[in-house]
Each structure stands twice: as structure tokens, then as C-alpha cells.
Amino acid sequence: MIVLLRAVILYILIVFSLRIMGKRQLGQLQPSELVITILVSNIASIPIENPETPMLTGVIPIVTLVSFDLIVSMLSLRFKKFRTLISGEPMVIIKDGKIDQKALKTLRFSIDDLTESLRGSGIFDINEVAFAIIENTGAVSFLQKFNYQTTTAEMLDLKGKQANPPIVIISDGELIKSALSLYNLSEKWLSSVLKSEKLKIDEIFIMTADSDRKVNIIKKEGVS
Amino acid sequence: MKRVILIVSVLFLLVVISVSSVFYLKNYKNYLINSLETAVLNGSEELVYEVYESWEDKKDILGIFIKEERIMKISDAIFDSAIYFDTKRIKKAVYLIEELYQSELPTLSNVL
């Protein structure tokens, strides 16, 4: 029972802590954030595995580490030099189509690592790359040479209207009012749409709408 | 700005709680050791029993920040002292209490 309660409490604490730390995917974490994530998960397991250890030996380190991480990230935001000290700087490894072998050596980044990253981005020929930059997270960003870039509307001198993405306004039978206001859609308009479809809000699995008031409705299973 | 204030407040609170726990332990340690040593000097079994009762009341509070294993060791030592009123057992209890306090101090050797 104690283990169960501790697991629940620490789970809530970790979720809350990670929520405070901000939204990043695992691969986008800065070094300090990665350290915190690993530490927090390991520390949390100690009081769960060992009921004789006081809960505070898990809670206090987690709260302290998360607080420090927030201070570090705020200082990083405020001071460029501090940010460079903590997170480093992105480095160019391919410039004007030429590989900077010295930079690769400094980063201990092998050519195999580079070609693997290329393939991950759908590039199978290194000669197609004009620029490549290693980010602080270790991810590699590429800019292909003009001849190999995906054709864009600008290249073909095409004119078109900027489309706004559809947003979810009803999710699993619940209305998201904040989404309506994003495209200045009213509840009155929504009611008229639902009336024409002969549907109620709670019968809808998902409903999206764009700025042109074009809607897409998926009904819940079992609704005729 | 609000977040900075909140974080600093949380950290400050943690420091206050940590420092308070050390002082709490120090005061209680002094009470326990003084009482046990007085009991040995005066041959007072009642005083040892008072220490035992006080420990039974306070050990749950100490258990919030001290490992149960260490609490149990001291509990056993104080219990034996109360039952047998043996100088050696009382000295053992005194030693364990002092050792516990020293291990909770924020010294370099403890941190490392």
C-alpha cells in the first residue's frame, strides 16, 4: 500500500515538474535538461523501491533540481554568454558543400554519424548538401543545394492564398471554446452547422474547422 | 518574473526546512544525551524510561527525514537501556544518537 501511494505521489510530482520545465521532445532537450530528466526519474525510483527511505529523500532533490533547472533556463534566456556556457553553440560541419573535418573531429562526430543523420533526413548523397549544422541537442540540420531542393511555389512563381490550418473545435464530445475564438467562429455559427448535420456536440468524435469555415466532422461510433 | 519569485521562494523554503530539521535534531539530541547521562550519574531508571517514552513519541517525526533503519537501531538501544538499565547499553544509545546527529550535519565529509 505504501509503495502504491508513494508511486502515485511521485508520479504526480514528476509530471508536474516536467510540465513546469516546458514543452520539448526528448531529442530537443538541452544538455542540462537531459541531465535533470534522467536524474529526476532515477531519484524518484529510490523511495518507491525502498519503503524504508523517507519520501522527502525523493521529493526534496526533485523539487531542488527542477527549481535549479528553471533558474538555469531563465538565466540562459537572459544572458547569451551563460547560454553558450551551459548549452554550447551550434556548429557548422558542412559549408558551401565542403565538409569541415576539423569541426567533426572537435565534436567527435564521425562521418558515419553524419551520413546516418543525412539518411534520416532523406538525403542519400552528401554532395546534395550545401550546409549542415549540428545543433546543441546533437541533431543535424541540413540545407540542400538549390538543384536538389524541393520545388516551392515561389520557385515556380505561383500565386496562392495562405491557408490557415484547421483547428479542433470539438474533441470527443466536448466543445473547445478557445479554439472557436482563434478564427472568430461563434457558437451560433457552430449551432447552425450542427443543426444542418443533425448532430449534437456529444455525438461528435472530432470536428475541425479552418478560417474559411470549412468543417470536417467525424461522428462517434454508434451514432447514425 | 512571477515564476522567478515562486522558484526562489520554493528554494528558500527548502533551505529553511533543511536547516530547521538540523536544529530540531540538535536540540532533541542534546535532551536525549543529557537525560541519559544524568540517569547514569544519578542511577535514575525513571529518567531512562522518560527518555524511552519521549523517543517513542518523537521517532515518527524524525522518520520524516531520517532512514527508518537508523531510527530502529536507536529505538532498540533506548528500549534495552530502559529495560535493563545497564551503563553499557545506555552508552551505546548515547553513541548511536550522537552518530545520527553527526551524520545529518551538512559537513564536507557527509556531503562527499
Instruction: Give the DSSP letter string of chain A.
Output: -HHHHHHHHHHHHHHHHHHHH----GGG--HHHHHHHHHHHHHHHHHHH-TTS-THHHHHHHHHHHHHHHHHHHHHHH-HHHHHHHH---EEEEETTEE-HHHHHHHT--HHHHHHHHHHTT---GGGEEEEEE-TTS-EEEEE-GGGSPP-TTTTT---PPPPPPEEEEETTEE-HHHHHHTT--HHHHHHHHHHHT--GGGEEEEEE-TT--EEEEEPTT--
CA–CA distance, A177 with B109 (Å, rounded to integer): 58
The answer to whether residue A163 scores a pLDDT higher than 80 is no
Contacts of A64 in chain B (CB under 8 A): 11, 14
The answer to whether residue A30 scores a pLDDT higher than 80 is no
The answer to whether residue A54 scores a pLDDT higher than 60 is yes
Closest CA to A66 of A118, A27, A13, A131: A13
Q: In whole numbers, what is the pLDDT of chain B averaged over residues? A: 90
For A112-140, what is each residue's pLDDT tens digit?
989 999 899 888 988 899 999 998 888 88
The answer to whether residue A57 scores a pLDDT higher than 70 is yes
* pLDDT at res. B5: 85
The answer to whether the complex's ipTM is over 0.95 is no
SS3 B110: helix
pLDDT (mean) for A28-55: 82
Query: Cα A180 from chain centroid?
Result: 24
* pLDDT at res. B91: 93
Contact partners, residue B69, CB within 8 Å, separation at least 6: A52
Closest CA to A107 of A135, A141, A86, A81: A135
Least CB–CB distance from A54: residue in B10, B14, B66? B66
Q: Residue B51, exposed/middle/buried by CB under 10 A (0-12, 13-18, 19+)?
A: buried
* pLDDT at res. B80: 92
Contact A74 B4 (CB under 8 A): yes
The answer to whether residue A41 scores a pLDDT higher than 80 is yes
* pLDDT at res. B71: 92
Contact B10 A60 (CB under 8 A): no
Contact B3 A70 (CB under 8 A): yes
Q: What percent of chain A stands above pLDDT 70?
A: 97
For B56-70, what is each residue's pLDDT tens digit?
999 999 988 888 889
The answer to whether residue A224 scores a pLDDT higher than 80 is no
The count of CB pairs under 8 A between chains A and B is: 32
Contact A63 B14 (CB under 8 A): yes
pLDDT (mean) for A203-221: 92
Q: Cα A43–A44–A47 angle (5° rounding)?
A: 95
The answer to whether residue A26 scores a pLDDT higher than 70 is no
Q: In whole numbers, what is the pLDDT of chain A averaged over residues? A: 86
Predicted TM-score (pTM) of the model is 0.69
* pLDDT at res. A136: 83
* pLDDT at res. A83: 86
pLDDT (mean) for A20-26: 64
pLDDT (mean) for A170-175: 92
Contact B14 A60 (CB under 8 A): yes
Least CB–CB distance from A52: residue in B14, B18, B67? B67
The answer to whether residue A25 scores a pLDDT higher than 70 is no
Query: Cα A9 from chain centroid?
Result: 26
- Taking any CB pair shorter than 8 Å as contact, residues of chain A touching chain B are 52-57, 60, 63-64, 67-68, 70-71, 74
Contact B11 A67 (CB under 8 A): yes
* pLDDT at res. B102: 92
Residue A1: CB atoms within 10 Å: 6
Contacts of A67 in chain B (CB under 8 A): 7, 10-11, 14
For B3-40, what is each residue's pLDDT tens digit?
788 888 988 988 898 899 899 999 999 999 999 999 99
What's the half-sphere exposure (Cβ side, CA atoms, 13 Å) at B92? 16
Dihedral over Cα of A71, A74, A76, A82: its sign: negative
pLDDT category of residue A109 using cuts at 50, 70 and 90? confident
Q: Cα A160–A162–A163 angle (5° rounding)?
A: 115
pLDDT category of residue A216 using cuts at 50, 70 and 90? very high
Could you tell me which residue, A21 or B51, shows the higher pLDDT? B51
Q: Residue A12, exposed/middle/buried by CB under 10 A (0-12, 13-18, 19+)?
A: exposed
Q: How would you list the strands of the sheet with A129-134, edge to edge?
A: A98-99, A91-95, A129-134, A140-144
Long-range contacts of B4-7 (CB under 8 A, 24+ apart): B4/A71, B4/A74, B7/A67, B7/A70, B7/A71
Q: What percent of chain A stands above pLDDT 90?
A: 28
CA–CA distance, B14 with A63 (Å, rounded to integer): 9
